[in-house]
Amino acid sequence: MGYELGIIGAGKIGEAVAVGAVARGFVAKEKVLLSVRSERHRAELEARTGIRTVTDNLVVARECPNILLAVKPKTVAEVVAQISPALGPDKLLVSTAAGKVSRLTKTATAGDLGSHRTTAVLSGPALTDAGEAVLATDADLVRSDLYLLLSTGKTERVMRPHMGSMLSSLVYSVADASTLKDEISAEISRLLAASNLGVTLLSCAVAVDERTVLVTLQLARPGIPQFDLALNYARL
């Protein structure tokens, strides 16, 4: 039987992706192969979903052309090294582990990944009531990263204090709209330059009234059409 999708680490995220993909008709149930750690979990998951489940990650890597790593970030290196003998240019390797995808080829110290394709689509999917995974577009993912980058204040990121944003303090301390626009543009440009998002600020518009400050940004990134981002601050 030829499988189309393999999911290594069929916990909450992995199971949600599998169930959602089957329910939405993206892939037939018999074309999905899952892997988990324990035999007990394997039997329970297979009985509940009707999707074949194994306890050997390498089986999934060998049988499936499209592989989703839905494991915890701390185990990515171990799993990639384990399955690396089965990876090659005909494999699509996807990870849900935040911050790990760009390092996949560096973490596989026990094997050579070769020239397989690597990409990322998820870092904790939004789950619906039906237990399905809602996949985001590239622009949605970049917006999510930008909101995190721009809303995190100074000292909030202990390991990367230089990434802290001054936007909130600027909104409350600068009254003039023109000056505020210049200050906000400079701060956002600084944050983008210090990040690895590859995003460029094209324009910044600031609207101020007695209670709110609305910041509208136009941004661009290679491979993604120009997109907008709106930030709304309450001046209490």
Q: Do 85 and 147 reside in the same domain of the chain?
A: no
CB neighbours of 99 closer than 8 A, spacing ≥ 6? 73
Q: Do 109 and 152 reside in the same domain of the chain?
A: no
Q: Do 91 and 155 reside in the same domain of the chain?
A: no
Segment 52-56 shows an average pLDDT of: 96
Residue that finishes a domain, picked among 108, 134, 160? 134
Q: Do 143 and 122 reside in the same domain of the chain?
A: no
| pTM metric for this prediction | 0.51
Model confidence at 144: pLDDT above 90: no
Model confidence at 46: pLDDT above 50: yes
Q: Do 160 and 128 reside in the same domain of the chain?
A: no
Q: For the chain, how many structural domains are there in total? A: 2
Alpha helices, H only, the chain: 12-23, 39-49, 57-63, 76-83, 104-107, 138-151, 167-173, 177-194
The better pLDDT of the pair 112, 53 is held by: 53
> Residue 160: what pLDDT?
65
Q: Which tens digits make up the pLDDT trace of 7-39?
A: 999 988 899 889 988 988 889 999 999 999 999
Query: Which residue segment(s) compose the domain that 48 sits in?
Result: 5-134
Residue that finishes a domain, picked among 134, 160, 192? 134
Name the band, by pLDDT with cuts 50, 70 and 90, for residue 154: confident
Q: Do 153 and 101 reside in the same domain of the chain?
A: no
Token digits for 16?
Answer: 């949600």
Q: Do 31 and 118 reside in the same domain of the chain?
A: yes
Cα separation, 84 vs 62, whole angstroms: 10
Residue that finishes a domain, picked among 102, 134, 166? 134
- What CATH number is given to the structural domain containing 170? 3.10.450.40
108 DSSP 8-state letter? -
> Residue 157: what pLDDT?
64
Q: Do 110 and 171 reside in the same domain of the chain?
A: no
CA atoms within 13 A on the CB side of 135: 14
Q: Do 19 and 81 reside in the same domain of the chain?
A: yes
> Residue 159: what pLDDT?
65
Model confidence at 101: pLDDT above 70: no
Q: Which tens digits make up the pLDDT trace of 58-74?
A: 999 999 999 998 888 77
Q: Do 185 and 110 reside in the same domain of the chain?
A: no
Q: Do 10 and 82 reside in the same domain of the chain?
A: yes
Q: Do 94 and 148 reside in the same domain of the chain?
A: no
> Residue 1: what pLDDT?
60
- What CATH number is given to the structural domain containing 125? 3.40.50.720
Segment 95-104 shows an average pLDDT of: 54
